[in-house]
């Protein structure tokens, strides 16, 4: 297996719901005018609390500082696992589940905080730049690690990074078991030919920027349904996550999805905003999913984490998580 | 291809059909302009060809890539890859064709929709269609579909779940299960099946080039690279593959797949298409975005460049079919170097043929060949008298014949060289006579005594008369008449020397032309002899010679008439004789007769009628000038004549210039006119003062002549020339470069002989040279250990093969008989550089006439075959 440290330096930002109006211009530029910016990595996720934006430093320059803008202080580096194709995996489980054991669990043990971003095309594991040496020393046994520099993949080793083996924390704290919420709406994960992006532009602008005003109360009525919409444009690839209600607004023949038309249910993790320093949160969810061979998407946002599991597996996942909460020691 | 980017595909089996795909598919037929002129809707492609639109297919939206079915039947089946990853089979203009009816409309749907980047039909197992798709986190990017597969029943289970694909087709034509799935969690940007094995698929993946083997799909060969787009196999060389990234093309050899064997110079704009020419080996065409030229790379098979002569490995050219930007191009499958180009906008198409590079070569004999494409042309000059006479006249033929007749090698009777050259060229005759007289004067002991006068001999009359001093003037009587002549004649040592160089007089203080006159009479040059006699104021002798000429066998009786006219000479200024002669002389055909009367009728000192009569030999005019022009007139005339000769490249002018820098200038214009480097080399070598030999032009002629002899395989002549040259120009002798060292002490065994003046070409002739006391050197002069033995006669080297006279002075060698010379070579020690066995050259030569293997028993070295020049036979007989 190969692990690529991609050539992006990312910032994680939150825009408050009220403040979105101040950022409409730069966001539209980043989404629709690819040729006008040098931003290569852009992701925008709407949650009931706020908007989470993950973008590289070129894109970050577009955003003016404001009281509505909260910036996480670290530089994050995206990691990407590539099976170098020698083993055609027999397991159907994909995404976070696949890398749960090999990447997420070892990093959690080393107290490395990760920020997950799953897309239609692949899964990105974001780690803080300061943790890079720990990441490399932790994972180098399992992976061939490459660092991308100007488009070329350069093999990298522990000794290439200053202050090699340095664990983040000594004592193994028993991770907090966070409460989970399982909203009722169904989600789909989709992609789009970038050339046809202009033809869905109006719908997309409508969904992104004008959605919350009339349905303000709907978002607050319990958590039966949750407002969640994610758009990412990374290295020219578009990925969309939306619920079936939003999906109906788009022309059906333009969005790509699986031929089986699979639908996903969401597990939202966290009762309080999770922060960026706690580790083991992703592992908490992904480990049991991996044990049961259930595939999953995982999208971290500024406040909470979100896992998407196949609709048909939601019952077993619910049982499993409830069991975990009753008897944390058993997991 | 989405709207703005058109592409062209040529039908694999119909050389007159192609498809343009942009937002729709258009099938065109290409044909001669004349045939389709009447039909409406034809598009002219070039001056000779036009295209007719046969069919349009716009059934498949969001086309991303198209591939044409590679087999004959069904003939117009196309696979279209769409933006959502579906692959649709469609056809053009074949609606009633039953063979492909069940295939058309068939769809191949990947599990997860994403763009289809590339399609490739397997060229052998044409049921297999490979599709390369974008990345998906949970899916494969290379799907190989079997187009003959039926609708699979297990898909019906999932078909109830197809809620998103609302535009569902009847499920019998939808295939969802690929035959092979390759490249998990990766993106595939380009694909091609390898021609060396139809089970191998080369794919340009996200970060690497991978070769998948369908017999074992869990294994792949891959190499990490950025150049992963547009992979394509050279149809002429199945291990050669091209791929590109941005503006750079990489050429790979699958046998050494670790890194590209070549990368082509990077273009500023990204490439959009790279294609091998199907009709020409190693020709790659590339196109970049927003460009109006197609770049062609001609990959030669030359291994490593040797010297400056070899061509570079890649020759880059570019062609511009028209002004506007090119959208795409396609090579014609069978017509040589032909392609159709479509513009980036408006579907403007052009049919054109890339002109092949012409390589041209002169042969060392007379012909000129050139190659263009698959044609070889032999160029023969067509003269009025037919081909043979043109070849006869060709300087190369002449030089070859002259080389065989030992032209230039007569160093004693120098003038005889013009006879060796065929004796028919007046310029060469004049040249060799000049050189002969110069040599005679230079060797003249009397002149040597006069204070090194002979050193000026080779500097030419131009320089000699410049220094003239102490000129005396005399008025002599007409010999045999009492009348006082009023013609002044000038005398000086320099003028006398000049006359000798002109060949009029021989040594001695008296001006006595009688010897010269007699020799001219012998050669039946009556008119010339008579003129020379007259210029020496001997009118009676002149008349006598003319009479002789008239009465001689086959003589011209008219000479008697001229003699009669001459005898009536009177110095009366206003006589009828004078008046008539000065006007009628111009009607005389012979220039010498003409100048005789010009001389008699001119005023003293005004001899333009003689001096500028260009048909008269230069030497005669110069001799005349030396006799009758004053010190003031003479150098002016000589200078003028010299420049005339130099400009015309006339070798007669060597008399004036001598072998000086002026002479080289003159020779340069002669060589420019004739190409006769042979004459130039030989004549310049005669100029013993080394100055002219150092002139780079002279060195160039000599080297070219040597190369020419080599090219003719006149190796003996070349060797003779080198020896000849070494004698005349000692600086040209090469130093010994190869020494034979003793096996025991390591010292050169030839050092005792290296004092010999003539060292050959490096191979020491130690066995046969040296003083008579040392003539039998069978042991190393350094350590006294015996020399190796000849593998055939088992005698130590140094033992002569047969009786052999010592070489002695090099001059003597020339007189040796041919047998002796061969015998000498027979004694040489020769050995194989591979197995190191050897012996006497003569023994070895006779051994290898009948054997191919080394004479040493047990050694299987094929020594003679290793020697590439050993199989060549010299074409000169000596």
For the ranges B99-103, B235-239, B387-391, B769-773, the lowest mean pLDDT is seen at B769-773
Q: Which of A87, A259, A309 would best serve as a mutation to test chain B binding (most B beta carbons within 10 A)?
A: A259
- List, in sequence order, every residue forming a beta bridge with B241; answer none if it has no partner: B233, B252
- List alpha helices for B738-840, DSSP H: 810-815, 818-827
For the ranges B221-235, B378-392, B758-772, the lowest mean pLDDT is seen at B758-772
Residue A63 in tokens? 């955003």
pLDDT of residue B393: 76
Closest C-alpha among B18, B211, B176 to residue B86: B176
Interface residue B114 vs chain A (CB under 8 A): yes
Q: How many residues does chain A have?
A: 331
pLDDT of residue B272: 92
What's the rounded Cα separation, in Å, for the pair B520 and A77?
106
Is B198 in contact with B211 (CB distance < 8 Å)? no
Query: Who's near B574: CB < 8 A, 6+ residues apart?
Result: none
Read off the pLDDT of residues A241-251 as tens digits, 9 standing for 90 and up.
Answer: 998 888 888 88
Query: Who's near B854: CB < 8 A, 6+ residues apart?
Result: B791, B832, B835, B837, B860, B861, B862, B863
Read off the pLDDT of residues B107-141 as tens digits, 9 standing for 90 and up.
Answer: 899 888 888 999 999 999 888 999 999 988 878 88
The answer on pLDDT for B163 being more than 60 is no
Q: How distant is the alpha carbon of residue B235 from its chain centre?
A: 31
Q: How far is CA B824 from CA B589, B714, B752, B799, B807, in A?
A: 59, 20, 18, 12, 9
Q: Which residues of A touch B110 (CB under 8 A)?
A: 259
Q: Which has more pLDDT, B373 or B414?
A: B414
Is A193 within 8 Å of B111 when comparing Cβ atoms? no
Q: Identify the band that residue B286 occupies on the pLDDT scale cut at 50, 70 and 90.
A: very high
Q: Which residues of A touch B152 (CB under 8 A)?
A: none
pLDDT of residue B231: 94
From the CA of B136, how many Å to the nearest CA of chain A?
4
Strands B326-331 and B338-343: antiparallel
Give the chain A residue nearest B181 (alpha carbons): A88
Q: Which residues of A touch B113 (CB under 8 A)?
A: 191, 256-259
Q: Which of A96, A254, A258, A299 would best serve as a mutation to test chain B binding (most B beta carbons within 10 A)?
A: A258
Residue B435 dihedral angles phi and psi, to the nearest 5°: -65, -35
Read off the pLDDT of residues B312-335 as tens digits, 9 standing for 90 and up.
Answer: 678 888 888 888 889 999 999 888
Average pLDDT over residues B196-201: 90
What's the rounded Cα separation, in Å, for the pair B505 and B512?
6
Reduced DSSP (H G I as helix, E B as strand, rest coil) percent helix, strand, coil of chain A, to 5 = 30, 30, 40
pLDDT of residue B485: 61
Q: Which has more pLDDT, A130 or B480?
A: A130
From the CA of A262, how many Å to the nearest CA of chain B?
8
pTM of the entire structure?
0.64
Average pLDDT over residues B826-842: 82
Residue A121 has its nearest CB partner, among B137, B165, B226, at: B137
Count of alpha carbons within 13 Å of B250, Cβ hemisphere only?
A: 24
Architecture per CATH, A1-156+175-212+226-330: 2-Layer Sandwich (3.30)
Residue B625 dihedral angles phi and psi, to the nearest 5°: -60, -40
Interface residue B452 vs chain A (CB under 8 A): no
Q: How many residues does chain B have?
A: 878
Average pLDDT over residues B490-513: 78
- Among positive and negative, which fits the CA dihedral A307, A309, A311, A315? negative
Residue B191 in tokens? 């694909």
pLDDT of residue B809: 40
What's the rounded Cα separation, in Å, for the pair B83 and B70?
23
What's the rounded Cα separation, in Å, for the pair B268 and B248?
9
Residue B508 in tokens? 């001695």
Residue A270 in tokens? 């966290």
Average pLDDT over residues B168-182: 75
SS3 B463: helix
Q: Which of A1, A5, A80, A85 would best serve as a mutation to test chain B binding (most B beta carbons within 10 A)?
A: A85
Q: For residue B580, how many other CB atoms are within 10 A of its CB?
A: 14
Q: SS3 string of B394-457?
A: CHHHHHHHHHHCCCCCCCCCHHHHHHHCCCCCHHHHHHHHHHHHHHHHHCCHHHHHCCCHHHHH
The answer on pLDDT for B596 being more than 50 is yes
Q: Which residues of B touch A123 (CB under 8 A)?
A: 137
For the ranges B302-311, B414-423, B489-498, B736-745, the lowest mean pLDDT is seen at B302-311
Count of alpha carbons within 13 Å of B112, Cβ hemisphere only?
A: 26
What's the rounded Cα separation, in Å, for the pair B706 and B715?
9
Q: What is the DSSP string of A197-265?
A: GGGGHHHHHHHHHSSTTTTHHHHHSTTSS---EEEEEETTEEEEEEEHHHHTTS-TTTEE-BTT---EE
pLDDT of residue B740: 74
Average pLDDT over residues B708-732: 87
pLDDT of residue B857: 85
Is A256 within 8 Å of B114 when comparing Cβ atoms? yes
What's the rounded Cα separation, in Å, for the pair B458 and B571?
40
pLDDT of residue A326: 73
pLDDT of residue A280: 82
pLDDT of residue B330: 92
SS3 B147: coil
- List, in sequence order, every residue forming a beta bridge with A180; answer none if it has no partner: A269
Q: Which has more pLDDT, B703 or B184?
A: B703
Q: Which has more pLDDT, B501 or B742?
A: B501
Domain coordinates in residue numbering, chain B = 408-730, 826-870
Cα-Cα end-to-end distance for chain B: 73
Q: What is the pLDDT along chain A (331 residues), one digit of tens a residue?
A: 788 899 899 999 999 988 888 898 999 999 988 888 888 999 999 988 889 999 999 889 888 888 888 898 889 999 988 765 544 444 445 666 677 778 888 888 888 888 999 998 888 999 999 888 888 888 888 888 888 887 777 888 766 655 545 555 545 555 677 888 888 889 999 888 888 888 889 888 888 888 765 454 444 445 578 889 999 999 888 999 998 888 888 887 788 887 777 889 998 888 788 888 888 888 888 888 888 888 888 899 988 899 999 988 888 888 888 887 776 554 4
């Amino acid at each position: 297996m190969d692990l690529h440290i991609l050539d992006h330096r990312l910032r994680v930002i939150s825009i408050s719901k009220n403040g979105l109006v101040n950022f409409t211009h730069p966001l539209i530029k980043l989404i629709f005018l690819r040729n006008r910016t040098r931003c290569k990595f852009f992701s925008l996720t709407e949650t009931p609390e706020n908007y989470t934006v993950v973008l590289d430093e070129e894109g970050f320059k577009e955003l003016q500082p404001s009281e509505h803008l909260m910036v996480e202080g670290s530089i994050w580096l995206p990691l990407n696992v590539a099976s170098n194709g020698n083993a055609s995996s027999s397991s159907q489980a994909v995404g976070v589940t696949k890398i749960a054991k090999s990447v997420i669990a070892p990093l959690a043990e080393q107290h490395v905080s990760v920020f997950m971003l799953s897309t239609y095309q692949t899964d990105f594991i974001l780690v803080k730049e300061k943790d890079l040496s720990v990441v490399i020393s932790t994972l180098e046994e399992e992976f061939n690690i490459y660092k991308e520099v100007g488009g070329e993949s350069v093999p990298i080793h522990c000794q290439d990074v200053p202050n090699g083996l340095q664990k983040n924390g000594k004592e193994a704290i028993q991770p907090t078991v966070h409460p989970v919420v399982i909203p009722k709406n169904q989600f789909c994960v989709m992609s789009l030919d970038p050339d046809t992006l202009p033809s869905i532009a109006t719908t997309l602008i409508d969904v992104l920027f004008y959605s919350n005003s009339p349905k303000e109360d709907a978002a607050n009525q319990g958590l039966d349904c949750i407002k969640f919409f994610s758009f990412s444009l990374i290295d020219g690839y578009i990925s969309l996550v939306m619920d079936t209600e939003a999906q109906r607004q788009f022309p059906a023949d333009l969005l790509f999805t699986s031929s089986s038309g699979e639908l996903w249910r969401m597990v939202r993790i966290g009762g309080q905003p999770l922060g960026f320093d706690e580790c083991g949160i992703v592992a908490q969810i992904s480990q049991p999913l991996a044990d049961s061979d259930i595939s999953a998407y995982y999208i971290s946002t500024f406040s909470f984490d979100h896992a998407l599991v196949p609709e048909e597996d939601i019952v077993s996942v619910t049982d499993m998580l409830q069991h975990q909460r009753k008897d944390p020691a058993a997991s | 291809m989405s709207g703005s980017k058109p592409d062209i595909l040529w039908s694999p089996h119909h050389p007159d059909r192609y498809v343009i795909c942009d937002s729709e598919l258009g099938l065109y037929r290409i044909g001669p302009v004349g045939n389709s002129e009447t039909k409406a809707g034809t598009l002219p492609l070039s001056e000779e060809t036009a295209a007719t639109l046969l069919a349009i297919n716009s059934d498949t939206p969001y086309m991303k890539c198209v591939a044409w079915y590679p087999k004959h039947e069904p003939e117009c089946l196309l696979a279209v890859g769409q933006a959502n990853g579906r692959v649709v089979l469609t056809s053009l203009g074949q609606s009633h064709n039953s063979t492909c009816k069940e295939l058309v409309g068939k769809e191949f749907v990947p599990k997860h929709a994403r763009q289809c980047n590339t399609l490739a039909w397997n060229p052998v197992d044409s049921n297999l269609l490979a599709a390369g798709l974008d990345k998906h986190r949970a899916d494969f990017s290379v799907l190989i579909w079997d187009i003959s597969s039926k609708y699979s029943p297990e898909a019906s289970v999932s078909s109830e779940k197809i809620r998103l694909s609302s535009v569902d087709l009847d499920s019998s034509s939808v295939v969802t299960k690929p035959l092979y799935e390759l490249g998990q969690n990766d993106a595939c940007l380009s694909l091609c099946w390898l021609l060396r094995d139809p089970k191998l698929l080369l794919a340009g993946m996200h970060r690497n080039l991978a070769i998948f083997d369908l017999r074992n799909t869990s294994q792949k060969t891959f190499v990490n690279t950025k150049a992963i787009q547009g992979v394509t196999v050279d149809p002429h060389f199945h291990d050669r593959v091209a791929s590109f990234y941005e503006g750079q093309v990489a050429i790979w050899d699958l046998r050494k797949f670790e890194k590209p064997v070549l990368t082509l110079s990077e273009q500023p704009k990204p490439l959009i298409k790279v294609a091998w020419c199907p009709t020409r080996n190693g020709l790659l065409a590339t196109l970049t975005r927003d460009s109006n030229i197609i770049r062609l790379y001609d990959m030669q098979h030359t291994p490593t460049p040797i010297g400056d002569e070899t061509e570079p490995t890649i020759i880059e050219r570019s062609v511009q079919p028209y002004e506007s930007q090119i959208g795409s191009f396609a090579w014609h499958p069978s017509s040589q170097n032909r392609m159709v180009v479509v513009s980036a906008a408006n579907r403007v198409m052009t049919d054109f043929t890339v002109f092949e590079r012409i390589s041209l070569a002169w042969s060392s004999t007379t012909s000129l060949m050139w190659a263009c494409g698959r044609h070889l042309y032999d160029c023969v000059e067509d003269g009025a008298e037919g081909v043979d006479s043109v070849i006869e006249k060709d300087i190369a033929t002449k030089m070859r014949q002259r080389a065989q007749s030992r032209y230039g090698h007569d160093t004693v009777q120098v003038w005889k060289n013009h006879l060796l050259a065929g004796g028919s060229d007046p310029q060469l005759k004049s040249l060799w006579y000049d050189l002969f007289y110069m040599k005679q004067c230079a060797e003249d002991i009397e002149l040597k005594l006069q204070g090194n006068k002979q050193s000026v001999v080779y500097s030419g009359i131009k320089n000699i008369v410049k220094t003239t001093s102490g000129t005396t003037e005399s008025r002599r009587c007409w010999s045999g008449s009492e009348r006082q002549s009023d013609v002044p004649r000038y005398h000086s040592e320099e003028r006398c020397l000049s006359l000798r160089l002109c060949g009029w007089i021989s040594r001695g203080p008296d001006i006595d032309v009688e010897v010269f006159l007699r020799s001219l009479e012998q050669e039946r040059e009556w008119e010339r002899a008579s003129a020379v006699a007259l210029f020496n104021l001997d009118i009676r002798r002149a008349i006598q010679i003319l009479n002789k000429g008239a009465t001689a066998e086959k003589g011209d009786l008219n000479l008697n008439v001229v003699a009669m006219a001459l005898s009536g000479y009177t110095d009366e200024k206003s006589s009828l004789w004078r008046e008539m002669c000065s006007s009628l002389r111009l009607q005389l055909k012979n220039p010498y007769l003409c100048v005789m009367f010009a001389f008699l009728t001119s005023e003293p000192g005004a001899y333009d009628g003689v001096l500028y009569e260009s048909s008269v030999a230069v030497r005669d005019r110069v001799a005349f000038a030396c006799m009758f022009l004053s010190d003031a007139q003479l150098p002016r005339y000589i200078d003028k004549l010299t420049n005339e000769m130099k400009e015309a490249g006339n070798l007669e002018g060597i008399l004036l210039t001598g072998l000086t820098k002026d002479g080289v200038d003159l020779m340069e214009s002669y060589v420019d006119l004739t190409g006769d480097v042979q004459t130039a080399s030989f004549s310049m070598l005669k100029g013993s003062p080394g100055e002219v030999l150092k002139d780079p032009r002279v060195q160039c002629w000599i080297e070219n002549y040597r190369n020419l002899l080599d090219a003719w395989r006149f190796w003996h002549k070349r060797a003779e020339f080198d020896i000849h040259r070494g004698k005349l120009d000692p600086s040209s002798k090469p130093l010994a470069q190869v020494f034979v060292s003793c096996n025991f002490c390591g010292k050169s065994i030839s050092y005792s002989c290296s004092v010999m003046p003539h060292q050959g070409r490096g191979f020491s002739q130690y066995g046969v040279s040296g003083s008579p006391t040392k003539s039998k050197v069978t042991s190393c002069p350094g350590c006294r250990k015996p020399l190796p033995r000849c593998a055939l006669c088992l005698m130590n080297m140094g033992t002569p093969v047969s009786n052999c006279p010592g070489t002695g002075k090099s001059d003597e060698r020339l007189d040796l008989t041919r047998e002796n010379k061969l015998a000498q070579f027979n004694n040489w020690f020769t050995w194989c550089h591979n197995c190191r066995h050897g012996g006497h050259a003569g023994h070895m030569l006779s051994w290898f006439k009948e054997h191919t293997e080394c004479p040493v028993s047990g050694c299987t070295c094929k020594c003679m075959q290793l020697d590439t020049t050993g199989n060549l036979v010299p074409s000169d007989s000596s």
